């Protein structure tokens, strides 16, 4: 379907998979299993003891295979001939449901081709409350609504292609520093309205599995926390799949079992010791510490998830060497390109118009000189940046670097290219001399804490560009009056020094484009595609403006609901580039807002379905807005809907509750529809322990960003 048709504010369709039928099959299989079989289904075989990062034993009597659990959120980690899809943060920057869903589907097709049963993603935790957080780039940006939609689209895309999704990391793992010892101490309302929110979407999309995180939550390990696992996930959200530990995140035998854990991964610690389940679990069941019914429930959930996605039906055998790339790189090119955000374009220096000479500067312009996959799990920042580092990576099959892609394009137009593939300010002048424009490439990187890169132990130490990026830009701006800065980054970078240079005319926020880095950039630089990405986080003027940074000890989440734009709005802090911001080569006008619906106040009362009470998912209001392409070229606009709750609700001034993307020819107009669900107007009532729609006047703002509001209306809730 063309983008324009899909691009409404409507929510993803109901999944077609059927838990009841899957559970029935699981019950029939369960009846055939010995106690030993059952324990083997719930316990990994141990670290480094099988073909995948996680493995359980095959059970012949029910034709259950050796289960392969493999990272991760960008495709098959350690695959020999796979694609490295763009990270979640880039997919989110597209705000394009269809592309996000297709990305999930294609990743799953590759996983299935390799015989991987469970692909360990997508990621909704971290949410990204700490801009320096090392793994924020694995997820979908600093807003629970955006994360939630992207989680649901990804999971449905994956599972419809026959692969079990794994929503991780559950819950409140917002930093790398001390992630395996710290406690995230968080109030019930904050948990519900921010951090649990995207997991509700994941459960509603029928996620097969959830991974509990390394940290403690309010003093109890996430993987043995009965409130987080049994109460919130299984009872309140009606989760029917299984909970697996993060790798070696388990700390007990009986407590984890009774709290709601269903699978121990990888089954041992990283030295082969500390086996909490296996025969220890068998004993705990015989001694009555863990009820037999609980063990049966674990097995039922794991088998049901396997049946749910049809893996009992001639699934490929495990082969991480299979060539499964197909034509999936089209999705990588599209998400890399449409996730690029144009931040500044003074005097319309972009798009480039058949320049006679371009000067390219920076080590990030070229392929990593040591080789595209030379660093374990991409744990280095050498050459062009495609993604962060850690378990959430996949090897690149090839890498299109900016200089190569620009050179290829330049040849077709007779443009001369000069290049300084170094961050050394000394060589700048001669390279940019006589060029129509100077393009400078700078980066910022982060990743998982088991690797330290240039002194950054997972989390970033600062929000400045790496490798002296500010100085490099200053040197280029001193030598040329027409400078374009291209930033490849895992998250926000403070751009004030760069913006202080009057010769910096354009900033292209190119994000994390994976293997299609250069090709995607050329699409935008030359205007083959009009930029349409929007920021999935705020870029502040100062790192202090976020009000959060990695905690040394426990984190009390004192900022509560006020993270990212929610805080900037409340405190009246002017961001440099606000959440949802992005320029285009064309212009869009917004008109004719129409708000329809008569939602009623009060608590949700429906039955529990996957995702929580059924009525929370019902559409209770619709907002339509007409968008017109009033500029000169074809382009796509991401329109965003923000809700301001009645003051009595005590919520942030506005919260994202809808978005849609429309592709429009110049002069064309179309209507965008935002469907608002009951949950979108609800707050978590801690006394009632229910979602409640407050009565009063709700402010509806529709705009091009969280601060560029073009149309406003109200919704009265009696
Ligand atoms: C990460 C998980 C990953 C697992 C297996 C852990 O360190 O936190 O995201 O899936 O390792 O590699």
Please give the distance, rounded to the nearest whole angstrom, from the Cα atom of residue 68 to the centre of ligand 1.
14
Please name the residue that has the structure tokens 């000169």: 632
Question: Of all protein residues, whose CA lies closest to atom 5 belonging to ligand 1?
Answer: 247
Whether the per-residue pLDDT at 7 is higher than 80: the answer is no
Q: Are residues 390 and 293 in the same domain?
A: no
Identify whether 382 is part of a domain: yes
Q: What is the pLDDT of residue 11?
A: 39
User: How much is the pLDDT for 10?
Assistant: 35
Closest CA to 665 of 95, 1, 2: 2
Measured by CA distance, the residue closest to atom 4 of ligand 1 is: 247
Instruction: Provide the pLDDT confidence category of residue 701 given band limits of 50, 70 and 90.
Output: very high
Tokens representing residue 228 in the block: 């987080």
Examine the domain organization and report whether 620 and 521 are in the same domain.
no
| Cβ burial, residue 165 (10 Å; 0-12/13-18/19+) | buried
Last residue of a domain, one of 571, 603, 618: 571
- What spacing in Å lies between the alpha carbon of 247 and ligand 1's midpoint? 6
The 10 Å Cβ neighbour count of residue 592 is 12
Listed range (1-10, 268-277, 306-315, 479-488) with the worst mean pLDDT: 1-10
Q: Alpha-carbon distance 148 to 84, whole Å?
A: 23
Q: What is the whole-number distance in angstroms between the Cα of residue 249 and the centre of ligand 1? A: 10
Residue 77 alpha carbon, nearest atom of ligand 1: 12
Determine what percent of the chain falls in helix, strand and coil, rounding each to the nearest 5.
Answer: 30, 20, 45
One domain for residues 560 and 627: no
Ligand 1 centroid to 56 CA: how many Å? Answer: 16
Same-domain status, 534 and 634 = no
Whether 320 is covered by a domain: the verdict is no
Q: What is the mean pLDDT of residues 253-269?
A: 98
SS3 label, residue 680: helix
Cα of 339 from ligand 1 centre, angstroms: 26
Ligand 1: nearest atom to the Cα of 450: 7
- Please name which of 138, 132, 183 lies closest in space to residue 455, comparing C-alpha atoms: 132
Closest Cα to atom 6, ligand 1: which residue? 247
- Whether omega for the bond prior to residue 103 falls within 30 degrees of 0, making it cis, is no
For residue 391, the CA-to-ligand 1 centroid distance in Å is 6
Sheet holding 709-717, edge to edge: 655-664, 635-644, 696-703, 709-717
Average pLDDT over residues 214-219: 98
The domain that holds 345 is classified in CATH as: 3.40.50.1700
Ligand 1 mutation target, pool 78, 79, 111, 120, most atoms within 8 A of CB: 120
- Residue 96: inside a domain, yes or no? yes
pLDDT in the model for residue 16: 57
Q: Which of 44, 71, 133, 263 to mutate to test the pocket of ligand 1 (most atoms within 8 A of CB)?
A: 71
Biggest alpha carbon–alpha carbon distance for the chain: 82
What is the tens place of the pLDDT at every residue in 463-475?
A: 999 999 999 999 9
pLDDT tens, residue by residue, 634-669: 999 999 999 999 999 999 999 999 999 999 999 999
Atom of ligand 1 nearest to the CA of 71: 10
CATH code, domain carrying 657: 2.60.40.10
Query: Which residues does ligand 1 sit against, CB inside 6 Å?
Result: 53, 71-72, 120, 168, 246-247, 391
- For ligand 1, atom 12, the nearest C-alpha belongs to 391
User: How confident is the model at residue 36, as a pLDDT?
Assistant: 98
CB atoms within 10 A of CB 64: 21
How many Å apart are CA 46 and CA 38, to the nearest integer?
16
Whether 625 and 655 share a structural domain:
yes
Selecting among 37, 71, 96, 246, the annotated active-site residue is: 246
Q: Which domain holds residue 400?
A: 329-571
Can you say how many angstroms the Cα of residue 56 is from the centroid of all Cα atoms in its chain?
A: 28
Q: Average pLDDT of 318-341?
A: 98
Please choose, from the candidates 38, 80, 86, the residue with its C-alpha nearest in 3D space to the C-alpha of residue 62: 38
Contact 73, 110 (CB under 8 A): no
399 and 302 in a common domain:
no
Ligand 1 midpoint to CA 137 (Å) = 15
Ligand 1 atom index nearest CA of 392: 9
Ligand 1 centroid – CA 52 distance (Å) = 12
The conformation of residue 55, written as its DSSP 8-state character, comes to E
**Is residue 584 a contact partner of residue 705, using CB atoms and an 8 Å limit?**
no
Is the per-residue pLDDT at 63 higher than 70?
yes
Q: Which tokens sit at 497?
A: 């020094």
16, burial (CB in 10 Å: exposed 0-12, middle 13-18, buried 19+): exposed
Based on the domain organization, do 531 and 598 belong to the same domain? no
Let me know if residue 397 belongs to a domain. Answer: yes
Domain's final residue, options 255, 278, 308: 308
Q: Give the number of the atom of ligand 1 that is nearest the alpha carbon of residue 391.
A: 12
Q: What mean pLDDT is predicted for residues 421-445?
A: 96
Residue closest by Cα to atom 7 of ligand 1: 247
Q: How far is the CA of 245 from the centre of ligand 1 (A)?
A: 9
Q: Is position 317 within any domain?
A: no
Q: State the pLDDT at residue 13.
A: 39
Check whether residue 372 and residue 500 sit in a common domain.
yes
SS3 32: coil
Q: List strand residue ranges (DSSP E) for 56-163, in order.
A: 68-70, 118-119
**Residue 218, SS3 per DSSP:** coil
Specify whether 55 is located in the same domain as 180.
yes
Domain membership of residue 371 (yes or no) is: yes
Ligand 1: nearest atom to the Cα of 166: 10
> What does pLDDT average to over the chain?
96
Q: Whose CA is nearest to atom 3 of ligand 1?
A: 391
What is the distance between the alpha carbons of residues 6 and 10, in angstroms, rounded to a whole number?
Answer: 9
Condensed to tens digits (0 to 9), the pLDDT of residues 79-105 reads 999 999 999 999 999 999 999 999 999
Q: Strand 54-55 and strand 68-70: pairing?
A: antiparallel
Whether 14 has a pLDDT exceeding 70, the answer reads no
215: domain CATH number is 3.20.20.300
Which atom of ligand 1 sits closest to the CA of residue 173?
8
Q: How far apart are the C-alpha atoms of 141 and 150, rounded to whole Å? A: 10
**What's the 191 CA to ligand 1 centre distance in angstroms?**
22
| 246 is a catalytic site residue | yes
Distance (Å, whole) CA 355 – CA 412:
11
Upper half-sphere CA count for residue 538 (Cβ side, 13 Å): 27
94 with 232, same domain: the answer is yes
- Confidence (pLDDT) at 17: 74
Q: Measuring CA to CA, how many Å separate 376 from each of 47, 176, 178, 394?
A: 18, 18, 22, 10
pLDDT > 70 fraction of the chain, expressed in percent and rounded: 98
Among residues 571, 599, 623, which one ends one of the domains?
571
CB 335 within 8 A of CB 501: no
Tell me which residue of 77, 107, 119 sits closest to 378, measured CA to CA. 77
- Mutate which of 73, 124, 246, 249 for ligand 1? The one with the most ligand atoms within 8 Å of its CB, which is 246
- Whether the per-residue pLDDT at 49 is higher than 50: the answer is yes
Q: Whose CA is nearest to atom 11 of ligand 1?
A: 247
Give the C-alpha separation, 137 to 150, whole Å: 13
703 located within any domain: yes
Distances 540 to 469, 489, 535, 584 between C-alpha atoms, Å: 17, 15, 12, 21
- 8 inside domain: no
CA atoms lying within 13 Å on the CB side of residue 509 = 29
Crossing angle for the helix pair 329-338 and 97-113, to the nearest 10 degrees? 150
Q: What is the mean pLDDT of residues 418-444?
A: 96
Query: Separation of 246 CA from ligand 1 center, angstroms?
Result: 6
| Tokens linked to 247 | 């790798």
d(CA 353, CA 346): 15
| Structural domains of the chain, count | 3
273, 353: one domain: no
Chain-centroid distance of CA 252 in Å reads 30
| 304 & 277 share domain | yes
pLDDT (average), residues 210-223: 98
Nearest CA to ligand 1 atom 8: 246
Q: Measured from the CA of 168, which atom of ligand 1 is nearest?
A: 9
Extended strands (E) in 383-424: 416-420
pLDDT class of 427 with cuts at 50, 70, 90: confident
Q: Residue 17 C-alpha to ligand 1 middle, in angstroms?
A: 27
Alpha carbons within 13 A on the beta-carbon side of 94 = 30
Q: How far apart (Å, rounded) are the C-alpha atoms in residues 14 and 239? A: 15
């Amino acid at each position: 379907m063309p983008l324009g048709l899909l691009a409404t504010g409507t929510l993803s369709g109901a999944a077609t998979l059927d838990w009841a039928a899957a559970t029935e099959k699981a019950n029939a299989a369960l009846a055939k299993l010995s106690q030993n079989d059952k324990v083997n289904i719930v316990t990994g075989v141990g670290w480094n003891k099988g073909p995948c990062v996680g493995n359980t034993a095959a059970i012949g009597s029910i034709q259950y295979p050796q289960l392969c659990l493999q990272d991760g959120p960008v495709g098959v980690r350690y695959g020999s001939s796979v694609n490295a899809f763009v990270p979640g943060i880039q997919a989110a920057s597209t705000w394009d449901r269809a592309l996000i869903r297709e990305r999930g589907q294609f990743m799953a097709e590759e996983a299935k081709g390799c015989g991987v049963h469970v692909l360990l993603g997508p990621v909704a935790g971290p949410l990204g409350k700490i801009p320096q957080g090392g793994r924020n780039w694995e997820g979908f940006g600093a807003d629970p609504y955006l994360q939630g939609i992207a989680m649901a689209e990804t999971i449905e895309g994956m599972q419809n292609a026959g692969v079990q999704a794994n929503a991780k990391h559950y819950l409140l793992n917002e930093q790398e520093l001390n992630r395996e010892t710290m406690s995230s101490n968080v109030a019930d309302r904050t948990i519900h309205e921010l951090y649990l929110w995207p997991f509700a979407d994941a459960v509603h999309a029928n996620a097969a599995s959830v991974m509990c995180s390394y940290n403690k939550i309010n003093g109890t390990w996430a993987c043995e926390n009965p409130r987080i696992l049994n109460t919130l996930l299984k009872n309140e959200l009606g989760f029917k799949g299984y909970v697996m530990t993060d790798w070696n995140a388990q700390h007990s035998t009986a407590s984890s079992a009774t709290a709601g854990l269903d699978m121990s991964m990888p089954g041992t610690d990283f030295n082969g010791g500390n086996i909490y389940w296996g025969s220890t679990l068998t004993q705990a069941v015989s001694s009555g510490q863990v009820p037999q019914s609980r063990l049966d429930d674990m097995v039922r959930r794991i088998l049901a998830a396997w049946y749910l996605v049809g893996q009992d039906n001639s699934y490929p055998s495990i082969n991480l060497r299979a060539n499964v790339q197909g034509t999936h790189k089209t999705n990588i090119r599209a998400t890399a390109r449409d996730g690029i955000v144009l931040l500044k374009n003074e005097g319309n220096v972009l798009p480039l118009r058949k320049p006679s000479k371009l000067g390219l500067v920076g080590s990030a312009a070229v392929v990593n000189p040591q080789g595209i996959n030379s660093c374990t799990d991409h744990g280095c920042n050498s050459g062009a940046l495609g993604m962060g580092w850690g378990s959430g990576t996949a090897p690149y099959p090839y890498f299109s670097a900016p200089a190569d892609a620009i050179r290829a394009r330049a040849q077709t137009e007779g443009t001369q290219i000069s290049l300084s593939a170094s961050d050394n300010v000394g060589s700048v002048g001669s390279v940019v001399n006589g060029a129509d424009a100077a393009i400078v490439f700078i980066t910022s990187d982060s990743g998982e804490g088991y690797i330290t890169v240039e002194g950054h132990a997972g989390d970033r130490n600062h929000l400045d560009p790496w490798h002296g990026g500010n100085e490099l830009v200053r040197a280029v701006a001193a030598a040329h009056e027409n400078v374009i800065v291209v930033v490849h980054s895992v998250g926000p970078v403070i751009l004030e020094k760069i913006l202080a240079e009057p010769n910096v005319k354009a900033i292209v926020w190119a994000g994390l484009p994976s293997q299609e880095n250069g090709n995607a950039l050329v699409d935008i630089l030359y205007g083959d595609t009009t930029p349409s990405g929007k920021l999935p986080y705020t870029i502040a003027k100062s790192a202090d403006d976020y009000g959060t940074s990695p905690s040394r000890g426990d984190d009390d989440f004192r900022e509560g609901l006020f993270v990212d734009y929610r805080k900037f709005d409340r405190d009246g802090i002017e961001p440099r580039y606000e959440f949802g911001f992005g320029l285009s080569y064309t212009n869009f006008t917004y008109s004719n807002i129409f708000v329809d619906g008569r939602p009623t106040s009060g608590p949700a009362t429906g039955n529990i379905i996957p995702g929580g009470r059924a009525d929370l998912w019902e559409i209770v209001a619709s907002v339509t807005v007409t968008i017109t392409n009033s500029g000169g070229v074809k382009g796509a606009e991401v329109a965003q809907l923000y809700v301001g709750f009645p003051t009595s609700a005590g919520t942030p001034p506005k919260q994202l509750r809808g978005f849609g993307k429309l592709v429009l020819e110049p002069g064309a107009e179309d209507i965008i529809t935002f469907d608002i669900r009951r949950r979108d107007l609800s707050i978590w009532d801690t006394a009632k322990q229910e979602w409640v729609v407050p009565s009063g006047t709700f402010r509806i703002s529709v705009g091009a960003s969280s601060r560029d509001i073009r149309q406003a209306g109200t919704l009265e809730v009696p």
